[in-house]
Structure 1
Amino acid sequence: MDFVSIMKFRQWIIGLCLLCLCSSVTFAQTVEPSDTQEQPPAPVYNYKEFFTVDEDNLESATTAGPEYGHVMAFSPMFSADQFVQAVKVLVVNLLRWTLHNELVQEPPERYMRKLHFGRWINDPSDDTCMNTRARVLVRDNLGDLTFRNGKQCIVDTGLWNDPYAGKQVTTSKEIQIDHMVPLKNAYMSGAWQWDYKTRCLYANYTGFKDHLISSDAHENMSKGDKAPDKYIPPNLAYRCTYLRNWLAVKLIWGLNMTPSEVQAIHQTVVNYNCNPKDFRFTKKQLEDQRNNINDNLEFCMQNR
């Protein structure tokens, strides 16, 4: 089943958890375990309260995005009503959340980066020896770029704006590539249910620019695997954007949020007067992202 199909059936699968639990209990009562065969640990289920971004109740909004540039000027071909209608699109409101209180299975394994998400991947199809980290450094560089050992594989120096601390960094040794939603947070928020190739793609995903961030190493270590209830960037000018991008990643990948996480997001949006219009994600953007994920599910498998 591809990623798009997984997202469509996600809620249906969760709804079956209770039935599965009951069935497993019945089975355990009627079948004697073998003395010679080691039995796998029984799945652990708990009722949990969590939130997801509500992608089902779409809103209508007017946009001036570049994809609608061909209708962004009045002409004899368009009446005023036609013009307004032409730029109206369906959007997901990232600040509208759905509360769930359901029986869910706990991750059967504790989080381990290399086991569950793999490593930075070197994609040979781009005709370079750069891995994902190097490609992001090149993408975000604003100055003259240099490489180590005379080979264009490992980035050495350049100029990067760290949005978290709001400062500039000139050496790659002081840069870490941060996952906007950290790998452990993603794992605990639902990624543990994915197969390895989907998790590895998540770890190396460059299809959404704000999925991977070139950040100051010290600041990224301060963030760690924390959600917004435990960490908010010290750069005040970036806080609203940070929350918008956090929610966008959670939406794209269908990840859960804890009650304290959404409470912290709500409070920060209110405290810093974040513009609600900035917290919109068009239906087309969401479809494009999920199609891109689905099209690249074999990325890690092809480049091991």
Structure 2
Amino acid sequence: MIKNMLCGATALALALTPLALSPAAAAPSAPSPAAAAVLTLDDALEQLPVADESRQGYTRSAFKHWNAGLDPADGCNTRAEVLLAEAVEEPAVSAGCKLTGGSWISYYDNQEVNDPAKLDIDHMVPLAESWDSGASAWDAKRREAYANDQTASASLVAVTARTNRSKADQDPAQWMPPLPEAHCRYISEWVATKLRWNLTADQAEADALTAYAEGPCETTVVHFTPAP
């Protein structure tokens, strides 16, 4: 009987003692960052879904920009941070992150620009085009991340205002940079952005991209990392 009482007491003690968990079991591990990919343009296009597009419900205000940028403490918004990152000659920065001087090369038209006010920050895949091809289903936080994406160098680019406004919301079936030597880089960065954000292409766009992949941009590669 005493033996049975001791066994019962031991069982009760075990039941009341918290289990010792290994670090792996104590908390779920953080997800691994997405791996960067380097593909030929042809292989990258194989991964780009083709689907009909719709602009129904689009409004530019659905994409909050420019926000406080990568470093809110620096007082510069995304636009200013992109200008600072892409300058070939660094501008002076005064109170309120006002930029003066500096030098940039707009790769769409190979123009040197010495006044930041004459530059636009182009969304490689325009906001309206991203809406058409998948962003309409995103929440506001993800659309803000897209509109201010500085963690991929292809997403935002400082170019002359005239080329950016000529491009507007057109895809490569409708518009290409005026400088022919820029075409393969542009196609590569367009496809990289679409793959990064899991966006689709319509049939005319896909046909135009394929024509470049099979022609002048046959040896072009695409670098991208899927967005978080």
Smaller-chain TM-score bracket: 0.7 to 0.9
Question: Which residue of 2 is the match for residue 48 of structure 1?
Answer: none
- The superposition leaves residues 123-155 of structure 1 with CA deviations (integer Å, 9 ceiling, x where unpaired) of 4845211000000000011114124xx315122
Question: Which residue of 1 is the match for residue 114 of structure 2?
Answer: 170
How high is the TM-score relative to the length of structure 1?
0.57
Q: In the aligned structure 1, how far is the partner of 2:37 from the partner of 2:107?
A: 29
Q: Against the structure 1 CA distance between its residues 125 and 236, is the aligned structure 2 distance closer, same or farther, given a 3 Å change threshold? A: closer
Question: Which residue of 2 is the match for residue 184 of structure 1?
Answer: 128
For residue 85 of structure 2, what is the amino acid of its counterpart?
Answer: R
Question: Which residue of 1 is the match for residue 24 of structure 2?
Answer: none
Query: Does 1:112 pair with 2:112?
Result: no
- The superposition leaves residues 231-274 of structure 1 with CA deviations (integer Å, 9 ceiling, x where unpaired) of 01011111101001100111111111011111112223444x22
Q: Contact between 1:143 and 1:158, CA under 8 Å: does it hold in 2?
A: yes
Structure 1 residues without counterparts, runs of 5 or longer: 5-88, 295-304
Q: Against the structure 1 CA distance between its residues 153 and 106, is the aligned structure 2 distance closer, same or farther, given a 3 Å change threshold? A: same
Q: Contact between 2:48 and 2:195, CA under 8 Å: does it hold in 1?
A: no
Question: Which residue of 2 is the match for residue 256 of structure 1?
Answer: 200
For residue 163 of structure 1, what is the amino acid of its counterpart?
Answer: Y
Question: Which residue of 2 is the match for residue 39 of structure 1?
Answer: none
Q: Against the structure 1 CA distance between its residues 176 and 263, is the aligned structure 2 distance closer, same or farther, given a 3 Å change threshold? A: same
How far did 1:95 drift?
2.1
Question: Which residue of 2 is the match for residue 134 of structure 1?
Answer: 80
Query: Does 1:197 pair with 2:141?
Result: yes
Q: Contact between 2:47 and 2:195, CA under 8 Å: does it hold in 1?
A: no
Q: In the aligned structure 1, how far is the partner of 2:148 from the partner of 2:218?
A: 30
Question: Which residue of 2 is the match for residue 122 of structure 1?
Answer: 68
Q: In the aligned structure 2, how far is the partner of 1:177 from the partner of 1:101?
A: 27
Among candidates 214, 221, 224, match of residue 279 of structure 1: 221
Q: Against the structure 1 CA distance between its residues 267 and 185, is the aligned structure 2 distance closer, same or farther, given a 3 Å change threshold? A: same
Q: In the aligned structure 2, how far is the partner of 1:254 from the partner of 1:167?
A: 32
For residue 111 of structure 1, what is the amino acid of its counterpart?
Answer: Y
Q: In the aligned structure 1, how far is the partner of 2:37 from the partner of 2:89?
A: 38
Q: Against the structure 1 CA distance between its residues 100 and 262, is the aligned structure 2 distance closer, same or farther, given a 3 Å change threshold? A: closer
Task: Tell me how many residue pairs correspond in the alignment.
Answer: 193
How far did 1:216 drift?
0.2
Q: Against the structure 1 CA distance between its residues 91 and 159, is the aligned structure 2 distance closer, same or farther, given a 3 Å change threshold? A: closer
Q: Against the structure 1 CA distance between its residues 265 and 235, is the aligned structure 2 distance closer, same or farther, given a 3 Å change threshold? A: same
Among candidates 202, 208, 220, match of residue 164 of structure 2: 220
For residue 213 of structure 1, what is the amino acid of its counterpart?
Answer: V
Q: Contact between 2:80 and 2:97, CA under 8 Å: does it hold in 1?
A: yes
Q: Contact between 2:82 and 2:158, CA under 8 Å: does it hold in 1?
A: yes
Q: In the aligned structure 2, how far is the partner of 1:206 from the partner of 1:144?
A: 18
Among candidates 150, 157, 163, match of residue 206 of structure 1: 150
Q: Contact between 1:94 and 1:248, CA under 8 Å: does it hold in 2?
A: no
* Matched position secondary structure for 2:159: strand
For residue 274 of structure 1, what is the amino acid of its counterpart?
Answer: C
Provide the identity percentage.
29
In terms of fraction of residues, the more strand-rich structure is 1
Bigger relative CO (Cα 8 Å, ≥ 6 apart): 2
For residue 160 of structure 1, what is the amino acid of its counterpart?
Answer: W
For residue 243 of structure 1, what is the amino acid of its counterpart?
Answer: I
Q: Contact between 1:205 and 1:211, CA under 8 Å: does it hold in 2?
A: yes
Q: In the aligned structure 2, how far is the partner of 1:263 from the partner of 1:240?
A: 15
* Matched position secondary structure for 1:178: strand
How far did 1:110 drift?
2.2
